[in-house]
Structure 1
Amino acid sequence: MKLVAAVRPLYVQVLIAIVLAVVVGLIWPEFGAGLKPLGDAFVSILKVLIGPIIFFTVVQGLAQISNLGKLGRVVVKAFVYFEVVSTLALVIGLVIGNVLAPGSGLHASHEVTSQVAGYQQTAQKSGGIVGFLQDLIPDTFFSAFADGEILQILILSLAFGVAALLLGKKVPTTMKLITEGQQLFFKMLGFVMRLAPFGAFGAMCYTVSTYGSATLLSLFYFVLLVYATAIVFVVVVLGAISGFCGLSIFKIIRLIRDELVLVLGTSSSEVALPRLLAKLERAGCEKSVVGLVIPAGYSFNMDGTAIYMSLSVLFISHATDSPLSLGQQLALLAVLLFTSKGGAGVSGLGFVKLSATLQSVQTLPMGGLGLLIGVDRFMSEVRSLTNLVGNTVATIAIAKWEKSFDMAKFRSYYANPTLDEEPAEQEEPERVEAG
C-alpha cells in the first residue's frame, strides 16, 4: 500500500517513465525510436483541449471584471513585465556568452548544409515581424481552434469576453454555457492526464534512441552552459521577483512540479498549459489575470528561448571565427527582442528563429546553425522548463501588482495541492455594467 501511495502523484509516474525510457533507448535503440508515436499522440490529444480551455477561461474571467479599466491595466502591466524580463534574459545570455566564449577553438566551416537551408527557407517564409502580426488574425473564428494558434485564440477570447462584459446580465444563458463548457473540458483533461506517463515514455525513448549519448557529449560544454545560465536566471532574476511578491522561487517550483516533470518528458510547454491555468487560479491568482497572462506569456514571455538564442548566436560567432563588435551585439539584442517572441511549442522553431536572427544581422554565417542541430532536441527541454517557470512567476507577480493575489489561498493550496479535474464551482459575483 505504501508503494502504491508513493507512485500515485503524476510527477512520480512521469519520472519513472523517463528513467525507463532512457534505459530502453540505450539498450534497444531501434525499438525505442519506434515508440515516438506514443509521445506525439499524447501531445496531439492535449493540443485538442488547449484552445477551448483558453477560450472558456479567458471569457469567464473577463465577464466577471466590473470595468474595462482593470482589463486595460492588466494587459499593459503584462506586456511591460514581459519586455523587461525578456530583455534581462537576453542580456544575461549575451554577457555569459562573451565571458565564457562557448564554441571557441572549433574553427567550424561556413558551409550551409541542406538541413540548415531548409530552416533558412522556413524563416524566410515566416515574413519577420510583419508576418508575425499578420498571423495574429485568423481566417475564420473556428480556424484558430482548428490550427491550434494560441495567440489567435487569445485575441478571439478577449473580444468575446469584452463583449460579454459590456452586455453584462443580458447574456446569462451564454455565460452559463461557458462555465459548463469549462468544467467539461477540465474533466476531459483529467482523463487525458492519466496517459501522461505513456506519452513521456514514448517521447524520451525516441530522443535517447535517435541521438544517444555521443551527440550530447560532443557539445557538452555548450549544453551545460545553457542549462547553467537558465538556472542562474531562474534562481536570481525570477527568485528576486518572487521575493518581491513575498514568495520563495523554490516554493513556486514545487507548486508546479507536476507540470515541470511533464514538460521535461515531452519537451513541450504547451502540454502543461491547461493544468497551469487551473492550478494558479486555485493558488490565489484571480481568474481574469490567469486567463490573460498565461496564454499571452506563451508567445511574449519566452525567457528560456531568449537565453538559448543569445547564447547560440555567440556560440556560432566564436565557433566560426566571426567576432561581433559591441555595436553589432547591441543591434543583435534589438533583433532578438522580436525574433525570440511567438510560436511556443512548435517543433523546430528554435532553429527557425535562429535562422531569422542570422538573416537579420547578416554578420554571421548561416552554416553555423549546422553545429547546433544535433543538440537542439536537448535544448528544447531547458527552453520549455524555463518558459514555464517564467510564466508562472509572471502571473503571480502581475496578480500581486494588480492586488488580485490571495496569499492565504496560496499557502492553503501549497500545503494541500490537490487538483481536481474541473474548476470548483463558484457563485456568480455581482457584475457592474461597464461603460
Structure 2
Amino acid sequence: MARLKQLYVQVIIGILAGIVLGLVAPESAVAVKPLGDAFVALLRMMLAPIIFCSVVLGLTHVADMRQLGRLSLKTLIYFEVLTTVAMALGFIAVNVVQPGVGLHATNLAVNESVSKIAANAHHFTAIGFFLSIIPSTMVDAFAKGEILQVLLISLLTGAALSIGGIKKDSILLRGIDEAQTILFRILGFIMRLAPIGAFGAIAAAVAAFGAATLLYLAKLVILYRAASLVFALGVLGAVSASIGLSIFRILRLIRDELLIVLGTASSEVVLPRLIEKLERVGCDESVVGFVIPSGYSFNLDGTSIYMAIAVGFIAQATDTPFPLGQQIGVLAILMLTSKGGTTVAGGAFIKLAATLQTVKALPLNGLGLLFGVDRLMATCTALTNVIGNTVATFYIAKWEKMFDEAKWEAWQRGLAADQKQVVAASGATVVQK
C-alpha cells in the first residue's frame, strides 16, 4: 500500500487504465480526452511565472556579468555539440537500417494537412526566429506563455537587479522568493492530478489511432526509439559518467516526470518540476534557471534525432536519390531548423516542413507518410528531450563548479533509505503470511 502513495505508481496505473479503455471502449476513451487536455493546460499555466522567478533569483546569485556570459557561452556550446551528435546518430541509423527502402511511395497525392503545414513553414526563417524571441510587450510574453520570450525578460530583469547591486534582503527579492514558494506549492496541488491527466491523454490517443497503429510503419518507429535509447544511455550516459554521475541515477531522479511525459507526449508539462527538483539535489539555481528554459528551445536532442531519421526515411520511401553530400548539407540546415521547439507553432512537423522547403530535392508530400505514427514519435521525442536537458543541467553545473555534492549525496542516502524501508515492509508481509 505504501507504493500506491508514490506518484510514479499512480501515473503507471493511470496509463495502463487509459490503454485498456482505449482498446475496449474507444468512444468512451475519446470522451475522457478533456482530462488530459485540462491537466496539460494547468501545468503550462505555471511555466511563465516559475521561469521568471527561478531565473531572476538565480541571476542575483551570479557574481558578475562575466560569469553570466561564461555560463551562457558554455551552455550554448554544449547544446550545439550534443544536438549535432544526435542528428549524426539519426543519419547513421537511417542509412544503416534503411526503413523506407521498398515502400516505393512515388506517387503521393497532395495532402491538405501537409499543404497547411507547408504554408506555416514557408514563413519560418532564421531572422524571423530570432525576432520572435522579442515580445510585443513584457506582458504579452506572459500572456502567450512563450518560453523564450519569458526567458529574455527574466534574463534582463535578473541582470538589471544583479548589476544594480540589489541587497539580498531586499523586499523585492523576498517577494519574488515567496512567490516562487507559492508557485511550487500550487504545482504540488496540480501534480496530484497527474494520474487522471495521463489516463485521459493516453486513452484518447489509443482510441484515435487504434491497436493497428502500433504496427503501422513499425520499422520506422522501432528504429527511432532504438536510436533515442542509444543516445540516452550511450551518449548521455557517457556525458554523465564524465562528471562522475550515473545516468541510471539521473533517470531514477526524474522517474515521475518521465512517466508524466509518457502519458501526455509533452515535455513542457514537467519543466516546473524539473527546475524545482534539480535545485533540490544540488544544481545551483542560477544554472538551473538558465539551462532548463533555454534547453527547451535549443537543446532538443530527441527532435534532432527525429528530424534526421524522418528526412532519410522520406528520401528512401519516395525513391529519391539522397547522396552523402546532400545529407551533410541537410545536417547543416537542421542545426537551425531543429531549434525553437516551443516558439514555432506546430512543433516537429513545422520544422521538418521548413527543412523540406529548403531541401528541394525531397518531396514535401512525404510528410504525409509520418502522420500515422506522429503520436508514437512525439512521445519518444519528448522523453529524449527531457533526459537531455536534465543531463545538460548537471553537466553545466559541474563544469561551472556550481554543484552542491552534499545535496546530491543527501538525496542518494534518502533513496537508499526508501529502498530499505520497501524491502523491510516486503519482508514483514512475507512473515505475516
Bin the TM-score by the shorter chain.
over 0.9
- Cα distance between partner residues in 1 of 2:412 and 2:38: 32
Q: How does 1:56-205 map to 2 (within 5 A)?
A: 56-108=53-105, 109-125=107-123, 127-169=124-166, 172-205=170-203
Query: Do the aligned partners of 2:297 and 2:343 also contact (CA within 8 Å) in 1?
Result: no
TM-score of the aligned structures, taking structure 1 as reference length: 0.93
RMSD between aligned alpha carbons? 1.4
Helix, strand or coil for the counterpart of 1:372? helix
* Cα distance, 1:174 vs structure 2: 1.1
Q: How does 1:417-432 map to 2 (within 5 A)?
A: none
- Cα distance between partner residues in 2 of 1:382 and 1:12: 20
Out of 245, 249, 273, the residue aligned to residue 251 of structure 1 is 249
Could you tell me which residue of structure 1 aligns to residue 45 of structure 2?
48
Name the aligned partner's letter for residue 366 of structure 1. L
Distance verdict in 2 for CA 1:138–1:346, change over 3 Å: closer
Could you tell me which residue of structure 2 aligns to residue 8 of structure 1?
5
Name the aligned partner's letter for residue 167 of structure 1. G
* Cα distance, 1:121 vs structure 2: 1.2
- Cα distance between partner residues in 1 of 2:355 and 2:344: 17
Name the aligned partner's letter for residue 376 of structure 1. D
Out of 208, 214, 217, the residue aligned to residue 216 of structure 1 is 214
- Cα distance between partner residues in 2 of 1:314 and 1:83: 21
Distance verdict in 2 for CA 1:103–1:382, change over 3 Å: same
Query: Do the aligned partners of 1:57 and 1:182 also contact (CA within 8 Å) in 2?
Result: yes
Helix, strand or coil for the counterpart of 2:5? coil
Query: Do the aligned partners of 1:269 and 1:345 also contact (CA within 8 Å) in 2?
Result: no
Mark the runs of 5 or more structure 2 residues left unpaired by the alignment: 417-433
Could you tell me which residue of structure 2 aligns to residue 326 of structure 1?
324
Q: How does 1:261-340 map to 2 (within 5 A)?
A: 261-340=259-338
Query: Do the aligned partners of 1:269 and 1:344 also contact (CA within 8 Å) in 2?
Result: no
Deviates more, 1:289-298 or 1:128-137: 128-137
Distance verdict in 2 for CA 1:254–1:313, change over 3 Å: same
* Cα distance, 1:122 vs structure 2: 1.6
* Cα distance, 1:347 vs structure 2: 7.6
Could you tell me which residue of structure 2 aligns to residue 20 of structure 1?
17
Deviation per CA, 1:350-378: give whole Å up to 9, x if none.
11111111001111011111110010011
- Cα distance between partner residues in 1 of 2:160 and 2:344: 31
Query: Do the aligned partners of 1:43 and 1:199 also contact (CA within 8 Å) in 2?
Result: yes
- Cα distance between partner residues in 2 of 1:71 and 1:417: 33
* Cα distance, 1:111 vs structure 2: 2.6
Query: Do the aligned partners of 2:300 and 2:341 also contact (CA within 8 Å) in 1?
Result: no
Name the aligned partner's letter for residue 131 of structure 2. Q
Query: Do the aligned partners of 2:216 and 2:372 also contact (CA within 8 Å) in 1?
Result: no
Could you tell me which residue of structure 2 aligns to residue 235 of structure 1?
233
- Cα distance between partner residues in 1 of 2:344 and 2:372: 18
Helix, strand or coil for the counterpart of 2:210? helix
Mark the runs of 5 or more structure 1 residues left unpaired by the alignment: 419-435
Query: Do the aligned partners of 1:306 and 1:340 also contact (CA within 8 Å) in 2?
Result: yes
Deviates more, 1:63-72 or 1:183-192: 63-72
Helix, strand or coil for the counterpart of 1:157? helix
Could you tell me which residue of structure 2 aligns to residue 403 of structure 1?
401
- Cα distance between partner residues in 2 of 1:346 and 1:69: 31
Deviates more, 1:167-176 or 1:183-192: 167-176
Could you tell me which residue of structure 2 aligns to residue 364 of structure 1?
362
Query: Do the aligned partners of 2:148 and 2:343 also contact (CA within 8 Å) in 1?
Result: no
- Cα distance between partner residues in 2 of 1:344 and 1:378: 19
* Cα distance, 1:124 vs structure 2: 1.5
- Cα distance between partner residues in 1 of 2:132 and 2:381: 23
Name the aligned partner's letter for residue 73 of structure 1. R
TM-score of the aligned structures, taking structure 2 as reference length: 0.93
Deviation per CA, 1:48-99: give whole Å up to 9, x if none.
1110000000000101222111111110000000000000000010011111
Q: In the comparison of the two structures, how many residue pairs are matched?
A: 414
1:34 aligns to 2:37 (yes or no): no
